[in-house]
Structure 1
Amino acid sequence: MNQRLNLAKTAPEGYQAVLGLENYVRANVDHGLLHLIKLRASFLNGCTFCVDMHSTDALKEGEEVRRLFAVGAWRESPFFTEVERAALALTDDVTRLGENGVSDEVWAAAQDAFSDRELADLILAISTINVWNRIGVTTHLQPPALAPRATAAV
């Protein structure tokens, strides 16, 4: 699959505006939690570039491999705190909005886990990764190629 469009080159002002929001979120949301949010939304949106980037970044910052794999099935996983679960549930509902938006149950759990400011910053973080995902999926943005794997002798 070839990249359709390089948004950063074609619309640099718009790209920089999204990057400005990204920089705000990075400065105001716990990095460990931010990696989980970005990875979860990217899984839901099918953005291979973002899944690759955010899992790689999380590993570099010390996140455990098993937790990253478990983001895909976080509801059944024992690896997440109640605060992380509230953020992941909010990520699911905001990413999938649908007809019902964010459920009252998910919102109440998020309000219990976060201050109003933290909740506002989480909403911005979830919204920002959804913008990046939509750019990546729409333009067929691809992750860097993997190094060739050695084949086992038969």
Structure 2
Amino acid sequence: MDARFNLWENEISARFAKRFAGAGLIIHDSPLPRPVQELVSLRASQINGCGHCVDMHVKEATAAGESAVRLHLVATWREATVFTEAEQAALALAEEGTRLADAHQGVSDETWALVRKHYDDDQTAALVALVALINAANRLAVIVHQKGGSYEPGAFTAAFAEG
């Protein structure tokens, strides 16, 4: 199935996308470690069924040196030995922050405590913003049926680096 709508060819959605991407660059340039950013983005995208974002974050993570083993195990991170405790805390926040409708409390106090144990204020702010932003990005892409497979590593930052 082809995409329903090209978000880059419409003036309103293109203007929105530029501002949305600008928010993404703030997170990209934050002190939150890049591997954590990509793992969190990948996990939320998997949960939301966003092929475009899964494609993007697998390729960006690979280009940044992430191992295939870790990328393959993101979907089952609780059953894997390749993630640090800090990464596990971030992945738990990503899952709970993505599946808000599945739990009455949203993000659990236990997960929040683990996040705060491993991330300082700036990293926590970036992590929370990242979970919110990737969920919004997933929804945009899924609604218009933007497919995965054609993303080239570095395309995101190259398209918006000039601001």
Relative to the length of structure 1, the TM-score reads 0.90
| Identity value in percent | 38
The Cα of 1:9 is off from its aligned counterpart by: 2.2
Q: Which amino acid aligns with 2:5?
A: L
Please list every run of at least 4 consecutive aligned residues from structure 1 whose deviation after the TM superposition is greater than 3 angstroms.
Answer: none
Pair member with larger Rg: 1
Aligned mates of 2:134, 2:80 — CA distance in 1? 23
Please give the secondary structure, in 1, of the residue aligned with 2:70.
Answer: helix
The Cα of 1:143 is off from its aligned counterpart by: 2.2
Please give the secondary structure, in 2, of the residue aligned with 1:8.
Answer: coil
Q: Which amino acid aligns with 1:38?
A: S
What is the count of residue pairs matched by the alignment?
Answer: 145
The Cα of 1:79 is off from its aligned counterpart by: 0.4
Q: How do 1:61-72 residues align onto structure 2 when only pairs under 5 Å count?
A: 61-72=64-75
The Cα of 1:8 is off from its aligned counterpart by: 2.4
Aligned mates of 1:20, 1:115 — CA distance in 2? 23
Could you list the runs of 5+ residues in structure 1 that have no partner in the other structure?
A: 146-154
Aligned mates of 1:101, 1:37 — CA distance in 2? 17
Aligned mates of 2:85, 2:148 — CA distance in 1? 32
Aligned mates of 1:31, 1:15 — CA distance in 2? 22
Say what the alpha-carbon RMSD is for the aligned residues.
1.1
The Cα of 1:64 is off from its aligned counterpart by: 0.4
Give yes or no for the alignment of 1:105 onto 2:110. yes
The Cα of 1:115 is off from its aligned counterpart by: 1.1
1:14-72 CA-to-partner distances (Å, cap 9, x unmatched) read 11111111111100032111110110001010001111111111111110001001000
Aligned mates of 2:95, 2:22 — CA distance in 1? 24
Q: How do 1:50-129 residues align onto structure 2 when only pairs under 5 Å count?
A: 50-98=53-101, 99-129=104-134
Could you list the runs of 5+ residues in structure 2 that have no partner in the other structure?
A: 151-163
1:108-141 CA-to-partner distances (Å, cap 9, x unmatched) read 1111111122111100111111111111111100
Aligned mates of 2:73, 2:149 — CA distance in 1? 23
Relative to the length of structure 2, the TM-score reads 0.85
Aligned mates of 2:49, 2:57 — CA distance in 1? 13
The Cα of 1:97 is off from its aligned counterpart by: 1.2
Aligned mates of 2:84, 2:52 — CA distance in 1? 27
Give yes or no for the alignment of 1:44 onto 2:37. no
Q: Which amino acid aligns with 2:2?
A: N
